Amino acid sequence: AVIVSRDEALLDRIARHTGRRVVGLAVEWADETVVLRGQAPSFHVKQLATHAAREVLPGVPVRNAIQVTQTRH
């Protein structure tokens, strides 16, 4: 059996849930709050990351510090 850490499971779920569109995705812990970091192309992708984190860690406060880097074409 492969043992996966809580953070690895969280990173994997967020990556899959966002279609791997969060660049530099990282998870940090501040007291009992999980902090999401990275860069997303839209607010929608940022929101998807929050939903994924809450699925993996129900009841744990989530602070989404992912920056939205909208590019204009």
Residue 73: pLDDT above 90? no
Whole-number Å distance between alpha carbons of 70 and 46: 12
Neighbouring C-beta atoms of residue 6, cutoff 10 Å: 13
pLDDT in tens, 1-59: 677 788 999 999 999 999 999 999 999 999 999 999 999 999 999 999 999 999 999 99
Q: Predicted confidence band at 64 (pLDDT cuts at 50, 70, 90)?
A: very high
Cβ-in-10-Å burial (0-12, 13-18, 19+) of 34 comes to buried
Question: What is the pTM (predicted TM-score) of this model?
Answer: 0.88
pLDDT of residue 1: 66
Whether pLDDT at 72 is above 90? no
